[in-house]
Amino acid sequence: MTAPTSAERKVCWEARDQLWQCLDDSNDKIESCQKFQRDFEAKCPAQWVKHFTKRRSFLKYKEKMEREGFTPAKGSKETS
């Protein structure tokens, strides 16, 4: 696979941004954003699609943790 050109990267990032905006607007309902999902997958290399999908999940998780806080799971604490 050859590296995408600057123009190809820009097209990919724009498709990603449109998909992410649609997902934000639809409360992450992918059914509402199928057109944008197909466009994103068509304009970006498969590895990038995988990376950006994981990145969005991580950013949403991080945002939730910052908003709601973190509560450690209850478990036994061993003391010596």
Per-residue pLDDT of the chain (80 residues; tens, 9 = 90+): 688 899 999 999 999 999 999 999 999 898 999 999 999 999 999 999 999 999 999 999 999 999 988 777 787 565 54
- Asked whether residue 20 is domain-assigned, the answer is yes
The total of structural domains in the chain comes to: 1
Q: What's the CA gap between 36 and 28, in Å, rounded? A: 13
- Asked whether residue 73 is domain-assigned, the answer is no
- Asked whether residue 23 is domain-assigned, the answer is yes
Domain range for residue 41?
6-66
Q: What is the pTM (predicted TM-score) of this model?
A: 0.81
According to the model, what pLDDT value does residue 73 have? 75
- Asked whether residue 53 is domain-assigned, the answer is yes
Contact 20, 56 (CB under 8 A): yes
- Asked whether residue 1 is domain-assigned, the answer is no
**Residue written as token pair 């820009």:** 10
